[in-house]
Amino acid sequence: MENLSKSLLTNILATHEVFEACKKNNIPVLVTSTSEVYGVSEDKEWTEESRSLIGPTTKLRWSYAASKMIDEFLALSEYEEGKLNPIIVRLFNIIGPNQLSEYGMVVPKFIDAALNNDDIIIHGDGSQSRSFTWVDDVTSYFIKLAEMKAYGEVFNIGQTQEITIKDLAELVIKTCGSESQINYIQHEEVFGNKFEDPTRRTPNIDKIVNFTGMTPTKDIDSMIKEIVAHKRK
């Protein structure tokens, strides 16, 4: 939200340059897209074929989703024309021990606050739900898809277990044995009126599980425990 135009140009123009280099040197490319491309789709689970439902252009937070959609269209168009061998993955809220809180990532922000007994800040009322994906599972999927040469395919990479942001904050406080309190602020207070937040974001991962034979290895409780233990070191 602080670098809207720069984010757009980076996602579109820089990705295009990568594609051109891959075409020139006949190198496959794994394109990291995002769950954001589904927008606020009302499907119970988001499959790779779910229709996208992003907000109006006046809600500038959707510019990121739109730029990633353009990347996907570029990759798949080049594939159909026989010019590029892309694998597209849509990532759902990756977390892990070394993730930084400085860039707004909710899990490290909550854990850092809890370990310091600082207030945990929730944007909105905390009822919005997310699913969190362990970073080691993500890299394992990347390697497997590359080895299987899954060119021209699109895959969700995520975890199907949902948790509300309020429950996540409470889980972090409990795991840390923290005295932190939860405070709620509205999105508008932080991002102005150009932001819009999906109420839920949960993938269907049947395609990648069936394709690779691999399933997620951790639930949210074990992920949080491992991250907290790492940060305490």
Which residue numbers are catalytic? 64
Burial class (CB in 10 A: 0-12, 13-18, 19+), 210: exposed
Residue closest to 9 by CA, chosen among 70, 84, 74, 86? 70
Residue closest to 91 by CA, chosen among 31, 49, 145, 148? 31
Report d(CA 146, CA 155) in Å as an integer.
12
Q: Which distant-in-sequence residues (6+ apart) come within 8 Å of 29 by Cβ?
A: 18, 19, 22, 75, 84, 85, 86, 87
Report d(CA 128, CA 12) in Å as an integer.
29
Query: Quick check: helix, strand or coil at residue 154?
Result: strand
Query: Whose structure tokens read 């597209």?
Result: 88
Q: What one-letter code names the amino acid at 192?
A: G
Sign of the torsion angle spanned by Cα atoms 4, 69, 83, 208: positive
Q: Which distant-in-sequence residues (6+ apart) come within 8 Å of 80 by Cβ?
A: 152
